[in-house]
Amino acid sequence: MAQEDVFKKLVSHCKEYGFVFPSSEIYDGLGAVYDYGQMGVELKNNIKKYWWDSMVLLNDNVVGIDSAIFMHPTIWKASGHVDAFNDPLIDNKDSKKRYRADVLIEDYLAKIDEKVNKEVDKAAKRFKEAFDEEQFRATNPRVLEYEAKKNDVHTRFANALNNSDLEELRQIIIDCEIVCPISGTKNWTEVRQFNLMFATDMGSTADGAMKVYLRPETAQGIFVNFLNVQKTGRMKIPFGIAQIGKAFRNEIVARQFIFRMREFEQMEMQFFVRPGEELEWFKKWKDTRVKWHKALGFGDKKYRFHDHEKLAHYANAATDIEFEMPFGFKEVEGIHSRTDFDLSSHEKFSGKKIQYFDPELGKSYVPYVIETSIGVDRMFLTVMAGSYCEETLENGETRVVLRLPVALAPVKLAVMPLTKKDGLPEKAQEIIDNLKFDFKCQYDEKDSIGKRYRRQDAIGTPFCVTVDHQSLEDNTVTIRHRDTMEQERVAIADLNKIIADKVSMKSLFKQLGE
Ligand code: GAP
């Protein structure tokens, strides 16, 4: 199945089974804003718990906070967001549609890659076993021509972005003959900068309202609380502060479902270190974070690092962890060595000393920072994309199964009476009443057992327990495993232990230390 179709199916699956709904749907929705349904919220909470515990529970030197969404507006001046948190926009005069100039160029570059891959696929089919891909890529004239074009555009593009050269961005669009996907014309306006922050007024106009922003990242809430946490928690460097919370960006090109949203959630951790030791810690957090992703079991090949060649002026190292989504490898998490930029800038703008006295060195300094920053919603999409599976069974039937990591599954156990009579529902309810304190359980008595299994497969429930007449006699049930569909007869008294071992996050956490 084409990856585009897989993605479409995934999006409708999310809606059909109560994971994600378009926001304000009865009013025709609100662009790039989504609501999480009854299954989605459980999965999302489990993802957040996996992240939070991996930071705050497993590391003695990482603590959490929950800072407010509204912050003093000068914070966004100090952080650089007021002046530089912009997207370059361009309008097509015929369709009146607005685009991000950088995205138009990136899409153009991706199309060249597609063309190269098509040439390679064609040649591979033609030459079969004798095909040497490396040699073909290095020598085929058409491939070389595409690559030269790509490199040329890429270099111009990188320079234009680095120099904030909006005219050059437009010129690249013109030179590459990029057309508007709606009107098909090249009738473009100038490129303009557009700030991504949402603003609102705090206080009544009579009192002199203050313009405040909805935070575009949670990180600044951590920086401005550095001294509070360090002093009240008697934290010694190196230490980290973690936070999960909402962030808001007025994204212009909002697409690909929950990949790019206007209201989303971030899980960020700022790790404060001695100046000069930051690159060592950068490497450590890079390793730790990719292990966290890989522990979920979607396959190591699904991940890759994208090290930034061009760094932001305040960073001395940066990388993205990318996951292979149905629409290609995409950033899920960023890891940045941010030097002392943020704390120093807040010192300057607030006029308050933000330093740490290092008892071992006997001196004060502004700590350096390693940031790990991951979007909850992007992680949610990663988990759904990595788990969604359509299978053809031996009897020719198909089943859609979410092979969710067991610890993240919204429902851990479904309990099903074989029939709705003879005391089987009561026995099933008794099992739930015993297990519901430990696991999210679901009772289901409607339709055939086969249909009930399919419903649970579709939401990724790892265990289904069936209560039958034998259960009334000997207190045993059958337990069916989602992935293998194997069934075994077990004592009701053993259910808690069987399930607890498998659904615990402990096995995931243990892999992080390896
Ligand atoms: N404090 C650093 C920071 O915010 P970022 O690369 O802009 O860095 C970090 O964002 C992460 O937040 C991204 O890797 C992505 O997972 C998530 N993210 C950013 N913008 C998003 C959006 N519009 N919708 C969903 N997730 C987003």
Q: How far is the CA of 251 from the centre of ligand 1 (A)?
A: 11
- 3 state SS of 165: coil
pTM: 0.91
pLDDT, tens digit, for every residue of 453-470? 999 999 999 999 999 999
Using the atom order of ligand 1, give the atom closest to the CA of residue 375.
16
Would the CB of 333 count as within 6 Å of ligand 1? yes
Are 101 and 88 in contact, with CB atoms under 8 Å apart? yes
pLDDT (average), residues 195-224: 91
Region 403-416: what's the mean pLDDT? 98
Question: What is the chain's alpha carbon radius of gyration, rounded to the nearest angstrom?
Answer: 27
Give the mean pLDDT of 194-211.
86
Report residue 157 as tokens: 């593009």
* The CATH classification of domain 393-513, taken from the options 1.10.3720.10, 3.30.450.20, 3.40.50.800, 2.170.8.10: 3.40.50.800
Q: In this predicted structure, what is the pLDDT of residue 395?
A: 87
Span from the CA of 270 to the centroid of ligand 1 (angstroms): 15
Between CA 56 and CA 68 the distance in angstroms is: 20
**Confidence band (pLDDT; 50, 70, 90) for 193?**
very high
Least confident of 198-212, 292-306, 424-438: 198-212
Question: Shortest CA distance to 438 belongs to which of 500, 502, 508?
Answer: 500
| pLDDT (0 to 100) of residue 271 | 98
Can you give the pLDDT at residue 297?
A: 97
Q: Which CATH number fits domain 1-71+196-390: 3.40.50.2300, 3.40.50.920, 3.30.930.10, 3.40.462.20?
A: 3.30.930.10
372 CB under 6 A from ligand 1? Answer: no
Count Cα atoms within 13 angstroms, Cβ side, for 501: 4
Residue 245 in contact with ligand 1 by CB distance below 6 A: no
Q: Residue 484 C-alpha to ligand 1 middle, in angstroms? A: 36
Mean pLDDT, rounded, of the chain: 95
If you average pLDDT over residues 331-350, what whole number do you get?
A: 98
Task: Check if 374 has its Cβ closer than 6 Å to any atom of ligand 1.
Answer: yes
The reply to whether ligand 1 has any atom less than 6 angstroms from the CB of 334 is: yes
Q: What pLDDT, on the 0 to 100 scale, is given for residue 205? A: 66
* Ligand 1: nearest atom to the Cα of 217: 4
Does any ligand 1 atom lie closer than 6 A to the CB of residue 268? yes
pLDDT above 70 covers what percent of the chain? Answer: 99
**Ligand 1, from 373, 376, 379, 380: best to mutate by most atoms within 8 Å of Cβ?**
373
233-237, 305-309, 366-370, 445-449: lowest mean pLDDT where? 305-309
Is residue 479 within 8 A of residue 456, CB to CB? The reply is: no
Note whether 196 and 249 are within 8 A (CB): yes
Residue 499 pLDDT grade (very low, low, confident, very high; cuts 50, 70, 90): very high
Q: For 65-94, what is each residue's pLDDT tens digit?
A: 999 999 999 999 999 999 989 999 999 999
Q: Is the CB of 377 under 6 A from ligand 1?
A: yes
* Residue 251 Cβ < 6 Å to ligand 1: yes
For atom 15 of ligand 1, the residue with the nearest CA is 375
N residues, the chain: 514
Query: Of all protein residues, whose CA lies closest to atom 16 belonging to ligand 1?
Result: 375
For residue 107, give the 3-state DSSP assignment.
helix
The atom of ligand 1 lying closest to the CA of 218 is 1
Counting DSSP H helices and E strands in the chain, the numbers are 18, 23
Q: Are 39 and 19 in contact (CB under 8 A)?
A: yes
Residue 285 corresponds to which tokens in the numbers above?
A: 């957090």
If you average pLDDT over residues 113-135, what whole number do you get?
92
Answer whether 439's CB lies under 8 Å from 462's CB: no
Q: What pLDDT, on a 0 to 100 scale, did the predictor assign at position 512?
A: 86
Check if the beta carbon of residue 438 is closer than 8 Å to that of residue 497. Answer: no
- The answer to whether the CB of 261 is under 6 A from ligand 1 is yes
For residue 492, pLDDT over 80 is answered with: yes
| Average pLDDT of the segment spanning 129-149 | 94
